[in-house]
Structure 1
């Protein structure tokens, strides 16, 4: 693996975030249970919805993105992660292929917005304009907008698959996620 984040002899820095999805991949990460304690000796989670850090560091060894690219905010985060992360992992089926969020791609965005915010609302039907990100015309998987180094499918990937991938990276090996997970698993 080029730019091997484990070759420096320090704890591997890891950043994670979720884009358009259900956050189930992060829940699987937490499902590693006591293995998280072992990971804490080998990685530093420097940015994540799971920690208090609010700013992505300038240089991160491993970036993990969950969810698809559905809004301007998702697009900005994906580009930021690609710029700051030596290795970028697309985690889960939404990140790998668009999955459920991309189901709206078969419809016009205006029709989707009308259905969600006008047709199915009884009190104050209106399309939100403040405090919500601008939706893109189509939903894309992560690799549809930035280069991805490793794809880990699953909906969500099991904790064992995430453990395997991180353990292999820590050991300086290139993981083969197809050995431990698949789409929809």
Structure 2
């Protein structure tokens, strides 16, 4: 009897709160079943520092708000056979995109000059350049599966992963909705 091939899965969060990764962990005992069928090859949940050349499923949460977010989203698209946009920030920009209603210079001045009591200044070292506008992941790279929710439930994430493990196209609309 031949062993079922294990899926290589990579996850990352861009501009967001990491709540979607917390929902992933909320699968509780299903994580044990997943660990028998997938290898997490890159994630903030593991200590891997390099995205492998070939990944079966890439899962991104958060929106694209800065140069580092964009570079990581492009790397995931290049290396992942299936790219999943996980959560409302990834699907529609959500809270990070609220700054789009204001000029970037005004946002930076408010955050780093007006509301700072010690050494008000714009950061210029070690901080990725902010983009003029925040966009959802599909605003920059092609996405295969959209899973809305803030955050999506552990059940929704499980259903998507289970479908992918079975070789089916997931239909998140059957068990998700925006903001829930």
TM-score range, shorter chain: over 0.9
Partner of 1:135: 130
List, as ranges, runs of 4+ consecutive aligned residues in structure 1 with deviation greater than 6 Å. Answer: none
Partner of 2:57: 62
Shift of 1:123: 1.2
CA distance in 1, matches of 2:164, 2:58: 12
Partner of 2:6: 11
CA distance in 2, matches of 1:135, 1:175: 33
CA distance in 1, matches of 2:89, 2:4: 33
TM-score, length basis structure 1: 0.95
Partner of 1:5: none
Partner of 2:152: 157
Aligned match of 1:92 in 79, 87, 95? 87
Aligned match of 2:121 in 123, 126, 129? 126
Partner of 1:50: 45
Partner SS state of residue 71, structure 2: helix
1:32 and 2:27 correspond: yes
CA distance in 2, matches of 1:77, 1:107: 25
TM-score, length basis structure 2: 0.97
CA distance in 1, matches of 2:116, 2:152: 34
Partner SS state of residue 62, structure 1: strand
Partner SS state of residue 90, structure 1: strand
1:171 and 2:175 correspond: no
Shift of 1:9: 4.4
CA distance in 2, matches of 1:91, 1:63: 10
Partner of 2:75: 80
Deviations 1:101-132 (A, max 9, x none): 00001110000000001111111111111111
State the Cα RMSD in Å: 1.0
CA distance in 2, matches of 1:136, 1:130: 16
List alignment gaps of at least 5 residues for structure 1.
1-7
Aligned length: 178
